[in-house]
Amino acid sequence: MEFVFEQVSNQEQRTTFGKEREIDFPYSTPGLARFRVNALQQRSTISLVFHIVPSKAPSIDELGLPEICKQLILKPRGLILVTGAAGSGKSTTLAAMINHLNETERRNVITIEDPIEFLFRNNKCLIRQRDLGDDTKSFSSALIHALRHDPDVIVIGEMRDLPTISTAMRAAETGHLVIGTLHSNDAAQSIDRIINMFPNGQQQQMRLQLSQVIEAVLSQVLLTRIGGGRIAAFEIMLGTSIIRRQIREEKGHEILSNIEQGKPEGMQSLDQALAGLVRRNVITEEEALKKSSHLASLQQYLQSQC
């Protein structure tokens, strides 16, 4: 395993692994495939996982993503969050949305990723991809410098700390479309997680700021299809006037009910999405129940016809 690690990593990556005992990095074999590699130490030995990354970014239609993803990625400004647990397909969703933008509009796009997964060729967009570690030292630093590079769209692989979140919100305020990922389970939790990153004295101001820039929160889970393969189910929260007011007034507990009632605007709760997949025979009821956080609500949707 040490020999394999030495073959796929460079000296800087090996030095980082020696200090941190863990590292993520991309690896490619020309003409064969690209991989996202995770190395960690366990019981004083190296363990490696190679995650295959398709050479071509998938389309929104190929993945069966909600149609509203096509509208959201064309927004001129604001903040879009793609959330979910690790391994839920957030990076793939982002890639499909960027791919749609690249085929549709002329925009200047900068991505900050850890590590870079899907590679994009410039089509209608000019896309610059920065790898955390090789191209930049931190998300927050890369984001500050990205703003000086005249971007229209900034994609942040993970909004993991206060400086990154704060700068992302300022970027969204000043006319950029910012898309980032969070490790959170639903829209309300995503809002609370962002606000709670700030000191108590700043939280009310941040609620006002977030309510002004938020365009959408897409919270996803990955499920096994009947017959094989996987599909994502989404909770979709849009920045409607009611949702923005609830964020400002610290009424996160009311967000879910407004999502459930917001189907005409394009919103849906996760349980509504899961029930729809069951009714269309895409997933089993058992699979849906595994991913639901509100079992009674899901059972109610499964028994209804809408």
Using only C-alpha atoms, what is the Rg of the chain?
A: 20
Examine residue 294 and state whether it is found in any structural domain, yes or no: no
Q: What is the pTM of this model?
A: 0.91
Which has more pLDDT, 12 or 133?
12
The mean pLDDT of the chain is 94
**According to the model, what pLDDT value does residue 85 have?**
93
Q: The domain that contains 164 carries what CATH number?
A: 3.40.50.300
pLDDT per position as a tens digit, 257-290? 999 999 999 999 999 999 999 999 999 999 999 9
Q: Looking at the structure, tell me whether residues 146 and 96 fall in a common domain.
A: yes
pLDDT > 70 fraction of the chain, expressed in percent and rounded: 99
3 Cβ contact partners less than 8 Å away, ≥ 6 residues apart: none
**According to the model, what pLDDT value does residue 305 have?**
60
pLDDT > 90 fraction of the chain, expressed in percent and rounded: 85
Where would I find the H helices in 22-161?
A: 60-63, 68-72, 90-104, 139-147
- For the chain, the helix, strand and coil percentages under 3-state DSSP, each to the nearest 5: 45, 25, 30
**Please, which pLDDT band fits residue 156 given cuts at 50, 70 and 90?**
very high
pLDDT per position as a tens digit, 34-68? 899 999 999 999 999 999 888 788 999 999 999 99
Q: Looking at the structure, tell me whether residues 175 and 30 fall in a common domain.
A: no
Could you say which DSSP state residue 1 is in? -
Q: Does 91 have pLDDT greater than 80? A: yes
Examine residue 302 and state whether it is found in any structural domain, yes or no: no
The total number of structural domains in the chain stands at: 2
pLDDT per position as a tens digit, 206-260? 999 999 999 999 999 999 999 999 999 999 999 999 999 999 999 999 999 999 9
Residue pair 156/139 in contact (Cβ under 8 Å)? The answer is: yes
Examine residue 23 and state whether it is found in any structural domain, yes or no: yes
Q: Looking at the structure, tell me whether residues 223 and 183 fall in a common domain.
A: yes
Q: Looking at the structure, tell me whether residues 115 and 44 fall in a common domain.
A: no
With left for phi above 0 and alpha for psi between -120 and 50, is residue 136 left, alpha or beta?
beta
Cα–Cα distance for residue pair 150/139, rounded to 1 Å: 17
**According to the model, what pLDDT value does residue 176 have?**
97
Q: Looking at the structure, tell me whether residues 136 and 176 fall in a common domain.
A: yes
Question: Which segment of 36-40, 132-136, 178-182, 186-190 scores lowest on mean pLDDT?
Answer: 132-136
Residue 21's domain comprises 2-53
Q: Looking at the structure, tell me whether residues 182 and 154 fall in a common domain.
A: yes
Across the range 60-83, mean pLDDT stands at: 97
